[in-house]
Amino acid sequence: MKKAKLYLIPSLLGDSNIRTSLPDIITNHIQEINIFIVENVRSARRFIKKVYAEKDIDNTIFYAYGKHDKLNLEEEFLPHILNGENVGIISEAGLPCIADPGSKIVEYAHNLQVDVVPLVGPSSIFLALMASGLNGQNFIFHGYLPIEKKERERKIKQMENDSRRLNQTQIFMETPYRNKTLFDYIIKTTGNKTYLCIATNLTLSNELIQTKSIEEWKYSKIEIHKQPSIFLLLVK
């Protein structure tokens, strides 16, 4: 019996062009794999059919691992591995396990000495950092910032201080409908010489990436409401 592998399969960041966003090897693996652990079953089915239209989706097995789902690895993952069947993890957008659930599944696979195969694909975090012009040698990703006003302001000031002290790019994100509110907090809280990059709709036709000082941002307009965005901050 062949030894099963766990494939970490990237997905699109939005309604972007598959040919320019994903390498052909993704199609090959989606064609071959019939068991998928996914963040959202409905969107994963659409993604798979978009990548490989001939996929027999009704005979494909899906297990959900989103934040509201409980995946029993011993009952739902382990039997396929012991049977020599490859399994793929697909996130809602971008790379599995990067700002995304899934690391517990990978940890479990390592404990079973299952080969874990990460595949190349888009990551909004790294694409934004690449295009920001900020420090790509020393950076940290914070995920979502606190929602409560005082906690949020405290976190932004802490990131600015850490950036100044460590020459470290601070990367973070927000739920798209709160982007404008976060932007206003950053402008209000940070110093004029601090630099902020906003990367919006990455890999899409309306992609926009701008890096400016806070002083420059105060006199600039940008439309980020309900637009998926990554924020990067650095004190130079």
Evaluate whether 221 touches 185 at the Cβ level (below 8 Å).
Answer: no
In order along its 236 residues, the chain shows pLDDT tens digits of 679 999 999 999 988 888 888 999 999 999 999 999 999 999 999 999 999 999 999 999 999 987 666 788 998 899 999 999 999 999 999 999 998 878 999 999 999 999 999 999 999 999 999 999 999 999 999 999 999 999 999 999 999 999 999 999 999 999 999 999 999 999 999 999 999 999 999 999 999 999 999 999 999 989 999 999 999 999 99
Output the pLDDT for position 1: 66
Output the pLDDT for position 15: 85
Q: What's the CA gap between 49 and 45, in Å, rounded?
A: 6
Q: Is 228 left (phi over 0), alpha (psi -120 to 50) or beta?
A: beta
Q: Which domains does the chain have, with CATH numbers?
A: 5-118 (3.40.1010.10), 124-235 (3.30.950.10)
- Which of 189, 229, 197 shows the shortest CA–CA distance to 213? 197
